[in-house]
Structure 1
Amino acid sequence: MRIGELSERTGASPRSLRYYEQQGLLSSERSLNGYREYASNAVATVETIRALLDIGLPSTLVREVLPCTVGERDESACPDLLAKIAELRDDVQSKAARLNAVEDSLSTYLAANAS
């Protein structure tokens, strides 16, 4: 299928699809006329990429995780996957705690200085 059809079927813009290719997340073959041709499993791959990006994984980690999500989907096939996701979760929790502390400070300041 061509990029327009893949875009239509997944909701990802052609620009996003080209970005996914550039990042090594998606592959295509070039036809003689230079058009990108995607395999039939590209829809599932793009949907997985978008889901992983939506939960906050950076594209570098998506590239590592993606092979673990296609086909068998067995975590034992990719033993480092769970550790990397736990690391990302811990980082998000740490950032959230810092933001909550800043929010509390700002709220305290505003409450103390309200007229």
Structure 2
Amino acid sequence: MRIGELAARAGTTTRALRYYEARGLLPARRDEKGHRAYGEEDLRLLEQIRTLRDFGFELEETRPFVECLRAGHPEGDSCPASLVVYRRKLAELDALIGQLTEVRETVAGQLRRAERARDALAADAPAPGGPEPLCELGGQFS
């Protein structure tokens, strides 16, 4: 298939495919007329790249998975290098979850503090129909 068809089937652009080719992630095969030629295996490579990118992997982190597929493994994540990337990504995610948990706890604490302050102000507020609040300058509002 030609580059436009591959791009359409993969849900990407021809520009992205050329970039992947330049980065060595997509093979650069040519037909007899000099046009780029791709097969179903290239579509599978692109699906693997896209799935990993959707999960937050950097483009270079997809390389071991692509190479694993090219080596003939039915899934791109069964090779040792792919497993290393998975482990590293899990460690990054765990660290981010820890940071987000800390931020969440801080925000929850701020919310509790703000609600207590609001409740304290409400408890000190005059009852409806009561006296007018005093102005900070000592007078009453009229």
Pair in the same fold by TM > 0.5: yes
CA distance in 1, matches of 2:41, 2:74: 15
Q: RMSD of the alignment, in Å?
A: 2.3
CA distance in 2, matches of 1:33, 1:69: 28
Shift, 1:34, TM fit: 5.8
Change (3 A) 1:109 1:52: same
Shift, 1:60, TM fit: 1.2
Match of 2:134 in 1: none
CA distance in 1, matches of 2:92, 2:41: 33
Q: Is 1:26 the counterpart of 2:26 in the alignment?
A: yes
TM superposition score normalised by structure 2: 0.66
Change (3 A) 1:19 1:111: farther
Unmatched 5+ residue regions in structure 2? 119-142
Match of 1:96 in 2: 97
Question: Share of identical aligned residues, percent?
Answer: 32
Contact kept, 8 Å, 1:49 with 1:66, in 2: the verdict is yes
Shift, 1:5, TM fit: 0.5
Runs of 4+ with >4 A deviation: 30-34
TM superposition score normalised by structure 1: 0.79
- Higher RCO structure (Cα 8 Å, ≥6 apart): 1
Name the larger-Rg structure: 2
Q: Structure 1 or 2: larger helix share?
A: 1
Unmatched 5+ residue regions in structure 1? none
Shift, 1:108, TM fit: 1.3
Shift, 1:25, TM fit: 1.1
Match of 1:12 in 2: 12
Shift, 1:42, TM fit: 1.4
CA distance in 1, matches of 2:57, 2:85: 10
